[in-house]
Amino acid sequence: MLGQIANLLIQTAFGIFVYALLLRFYMQWLRAPFRNPVGQFVSALTDWIVKPVRRFVPGLLGLDLATFLIAWFTEALLLLLVYWLRGFALPGTPGIAAGMLFTVAALELLRASLYLLIGVIIVQVVISWVNPYAPLAPVFDALTRPFYAVFRRFVPAIGNVDLSPLLVLVVAQVLLILLDSVARFVPGGG
Residue bearing the bigger pLDDT, 92 or 157: 157
Ranges 27-31, 51-55, 56-60, 110-114: which has the least confidence:
56-60
pTM of the model: 0.91
Instruction: Render pLDDT for 123-165 as a digit per residue (tens, 0 to 9).
Output: 999 999 999 999 999 999 999 999 999 999 998 888 888 899 9
Cα separation, 131 vs 78, whole angstroms: 38
Q: What is the pLDDT of residue 95?
A: 79
Instruction: Render pLDDT for 24-44 as a digit per residue (tens, 0 to 9).
Output: 999 999 999 999 999 999 999
Residues 6+ apart with CB under 8 A from 176: 111, 114, 115
Taking 70 as the threshold, does the pLDDT of residue 89 lie above it? yes
pLDDT over 70 percentage in the chain: 97
Contacts by 112-116 with C-beta closer than 8 Å and gap 24+? 112/15, 112/18, 112/19, 112/22, 112/75, 113/22, 113/26, 114/172, 114/175, 114/176, 114/179, 115/176, 116/19, 116/22, 116/23, 116/26
Taking 90 as the threshold, does the pLDDT of residue 1 lie above it? no
Does residue 50 fall inside a structural domain?
yes
3-class DSSP assignment, residue 190: coil
How many structural domains comprise the chain? 1
Q: Residue 2 is which amino acid? A: L
Of the candidates 137, 122, 131, the residue with the CA atom closest to the CA atom of residue 36:
137
The number of CA neighbours under 13 Å toward the Cβ of 89 is: 4
Taking 80 as the threshold, does the pLDDT of residue 122 lie above it? yes
Q: What is the pLDDT of residue 177?
A: 96
Does residue 188 fall inside a structural domain?
no
Q: What is the pLDDT of residue 155?
A: 87
User: Could you list the residue range(s) of the whole structural domain that residue 95 is in?
Assistant: 2-183
Does residue 23 fall inside a structural domain?
yes
Does residue 37 fall inside a structural domain?
yes
